[in-house]
Chains A and B, each alone.
Chain A
Amino acid sequence: MTIAALLLGTIAVLLAGPVPLLLGRSRWPARSPGVALVLWQAIALSGGMSMIGSLLLYGLTPFGTTLAQSLVALGGNLTAGTLPDGTSFTHMLAIGAAILLGGHLLLNLLATFVRAERQRRHHHTLIALLSDPLHGQPGMRVIDHPAPVAYCLPGAGHSATVLSNGLLRLLDADQVRAVIAHEQAHLVQQHHLVLLAFKSWHSALPWFPIANRAENAVALLVEMLADDHARRIVDDQTLARAIALVGFTLAGATPPPDKEADAAAQAAASASDRNLELAVEPEHPAHQILPRVARLVNPTVPLHYTATAGALTVSAVLLVGPALILFGA
């Protein structure tokens, strides 16, 4: 069991530092955002499981030789109020830390979801009072505000896609179709669940820089996935122009005419080496527009299927491996 604890500890350290740093720096996620999203989730889950499992196994070493056996022995010791020979203070500390960390992460996840659900319900009430349906579609709402805003509001049975008047005035019909397709992809693919899980992880471990990076990286990947869905409805140029126009306008700049927006999109892509620095260092949540525009103007080739299969296999091993070590110990 000591070896298993060491093994899990090593996995936990790797997944808490070098591995996410490497993934955050690599460029292929922009080519296959879905695969990268799976890998991020596997890293987060596996990392948490390894860290807690490692502490637990180490703390339980004096109680028995397998996890099941030592848990039973721990139960007996608890009722008898005794400790087996060779139990040290650090063993007790490790068990306590495992319980605290596991409880903290789970409770935080629960609290994040409950809070988000409450905010969402309140938001739905406001939207019902303040917005009007677009072309009579109840799930499409238009709100009277000058800023170009578009977002989706998930909800059981009554999801809404909200567009502002400012957005409808700024974009032409095709660009609006692109925005709607983008938002619908968020709703269909339930992106809010992934975003919430990573937000909860970050808020549970605010001192842990990797959690912040992971949250921002995942937010960008989710946008790229939604962009990819929109590209099936409209061409890449239309979507790129819509992103650039909304981005400019939100930043307070005068929206350039169509041709200039094109030029900007082109320039953003051709200068991609410099701009992609923003993509590979996603520690700031706002650095998300240039990477999105760049991959639309200079379309990237998705990962080869062998690389995809490899990444998915790694994800599966990350999830199954620590579980096998933990329960096999």
Chain B
Amino acid sequence: MGNLGVLERLMMDILWDSTAPLTANELKDALLRPAVSATPGKPLATTTVLTVLSRLETKAFVTRDRSVRPHAYSAVMTRAEHTAGLMHEVLGQVPDRQAALARFIGSVSPQEAETLRHLLGVAPSDNA
């Protein structure tokens, strides 16, 4: 993760925590807050903020409202939605995606769970 990667992360965190869409200038100010910034007090150029925003837009993390001036940016999905989508893939619930990923435990077959539960003497759960 390079310098831009760090900024992407910082700006996504701000957008995820924000209740309303933000303009590039509002984001720039938010980045100055000591709680967020790695180097508090050192302002970023607006062009840098816009560059990172356009990268995030290309990657479909951020959407831009062009009907207002200046443009307002907001996150496409919440952090939790992104995480849920990724874990869904990782757990193999999306066919043929991340299939070669080495997971500690991949999918567990109902028979396997049932065998272990049977051996345990635990009553079968209702959703089994």
User: Are A and B subunits of one complex?
Assistant: yes
Q: Which one of A147, A195, A268 lies within 8 Å of B102 (CB-CB)?
A: A195
Q: Name which residue of chain B comes closest to A222, CB basis.
A: B102
B100 x A287 contact (CB < 8 A): no
Q: How many residues of B contact A (CB 8 A)?
A: 42
Q: Within 8 Å of chain B (Cβ to Cβ): is A284? A: yes
A275 x B115 contact (CB < 8 A): yes
Q: Within 8 Å of chain A (Cβ to Cβ): is B59? A: yes
Interface string of B113-128 (1 = CB under 8 A from A): 1011101101001011
Chain B residues with CB under 8 Å of A93's CB are none
Instruction: Point out residues on B near A: beta carbons under 8 Å.
Output: 1, 5, 8-9, 12, 59, 61, 79-80, 82-84, 86-87, 90-91, 97-113, 115-117, 119-120, 122, 125, 127-128
Q: Within 8 Å of chain B (Cβ to Cβ): is A17? A: no
A246 x B102 contact (CB < 8 A): no
Chain A residues with CB under 8 Å of B91's CB are 147, 149, 250
Q: How many residues of A contact B (CB 8 A)?
A: 62
B112 x A126 contact (CB < 8 A): no
Chain A residues with CB under 8 Å of B128's CB are 252-253
Chain B residues with CB under 8 Å of A244's CB are 116
Instruction: Point out residues on A near B: beta carbons under 8 Å.
Output: 116, 119, 123, 125-130, 143-145, 147-153, 158, 162, 164, 167, 179, 182-183, 186, 191-192, 195-196, 199, 219, 222-223, 226, 243-244, 246-248, 250-254, 256, 260, 263-264, 267-268, 271, 275, 278, 284-290
Chain A residues with CB under 8 Å of B102's CB are 151-152, 183, 186, 191-192, 195, 222-223, 226
B107 x A285 contact (CB < 8 A): yes
Q: A143-B83, A147-B87, A289-B108 are in contact. Are A247 and B116 (CB under 8 A)?
A: yes
Shortest distance from the beta carbon of A245 to any chain B beta carbon, whole Å: 9
Given contacts A150-B103, A250-B107, A253-B125, 11 further A-B contacts (CB under 8 A): A128-B1, A150-B105, A152-B102, A179-B104, A219-B106, A246-B104, A247-B113, A248-B116, A253-B122, A256-B122, A287-B109
